[in-house]
Amino acid sequence: MIGVKVPLNYGHLTGVLRNWSEFHVRAKHKSPSWGSAPLLVKSAKILDHYAQQCLQDALARSDAEFSPLAEPLRLNLGKHRWLSADREESYSDWLAWILQGISDSAEILPLFALDDEATRDLLRSEEIRVHREVWSENKNSRTDIEIQFGERGLLIIEVKVLNPGSELQPELKRFNERVTPKNVELRLLVLLGTEAPDAETNLSEFTFTDWRTLCKRLRRYANRIKGSDLLRAAAILIFCGAVEQNLLGLSCHPRRLRTMATVNYLHEWRCEA
């Protein structure tokens, strides 16, 4: 960047600045020396200026990629009460609506990394039906999203927008014990959340997909369909922007030293296969 001298190991120095700012918390009663404060503040300003330039470049690249639409992070969705981080039903409803508009299993399965050859072949050309909040026959559990692929396959998606606690494991066990229609040849179980559960958690045959990965895949899907269905592509991107801002903490106006997280994300969605 012209006029900005940037250290080679940007990520390392960002971590150093964060650690220093939190030193008084970790050191309990000890006080940090303020002798290096002016140098740290100067370095923080340089790093932040560099990161802001990177962010503006990344936003412009996304704008160009999505044209005639634009980068959804430019739309402030962080103050919308309906889309706050604790409104799980809102995100489930919106995701179900997106999936309802996809008529090909070959487009749905890759969103959750379920597109192995055997699954693709089995569910190819099957009619897709999406349902919300389906109760089990004994009424002891209710699934968030169910996708039926004709009479051959069933995909159950359990949606989480907050990190689950100790209730997750018995909850997944109940879903796993849900009675599946006898004629269904394949049942797929997906847990969608912000962070993967710890290694001790038994996922009961569920596979985990994180919101970050799903949104990057939805961005690429929306970019593919914009030529034939511009309005729907726009709605999908707005959904991605809501998840990214409210659940992932990304922003086009981030706090100092948080900018590169958004820059890296915008690079990933465009460059990952």
pLDDT for the residue 9: 54
Residue 12 binned pLDDT confidence (cut-offs 50, 70, 90): low
Q: What is the total residue count of the chain?
A: 273
pLDDT for the residue 37: 63
Residue 202 token pair? 């038994």
Contact 183, 215 (CB under 8 A): no
Residue 145 has φ and ψ, to the nearest 5°, of -135, 130
- Read off the pLDDT of each residue in 133-158 and give the average, rounded to a whole number: 82
* CB neighbour list of residue 252: distance below 8 Å, 6 or more residues apart: 55, 59, 71, 73, 74, 262
Residue 29 binned pLDDT confidence (cut-offs 50, 70, 90): low
Residue 182 token pair? 């006898």
Question: What are the tens digits of pLDDT across the range 47-106?
Answer: 778 888 999 999 999 999 999 999 999 998 866 666 666 678 889 999 999 999 999 999
27 vs 149: CA distance, rounded Å: 57
Q: Give the rounded percent of residues in the chain with a pLDDT score beyond 70.
A: 73
Q: Say which CATH class 81-219 falls into.
A: alpha beta
pLDDT for the residue 144: 87
Q: Beta-carbon neighbour count of residue 21 at 10 Å?
A: 14
pLDDT for the residue 242: 92
Question: What are the tens digits of pLDDT across the range 182-216?
Answer: 678 898 999 999 888 777 777 778 889 999 999 99
217 vs 255: CA distance, rounded Å: 26
Q: Give the rounded percent of residues in the chain with a pLDDT score beyond 90.
A: 48
pTM, whole model, 2 decimals?
0.81
Sheet strands (E) in the chain:
128-135, 142-149, 153-159, 186-193, 207-210
Domain limits, the chain: 1-71, 81-219
Residue 136 token pair? 């089990």
Residue 262 binned pLDDT confidence (cut-offs 50, 70, 90): very high
Residue 32 binned pLDDT confidence (cut-offs 50, 70, 90): low
230 vs 39: CA distance, rounded Å: 49
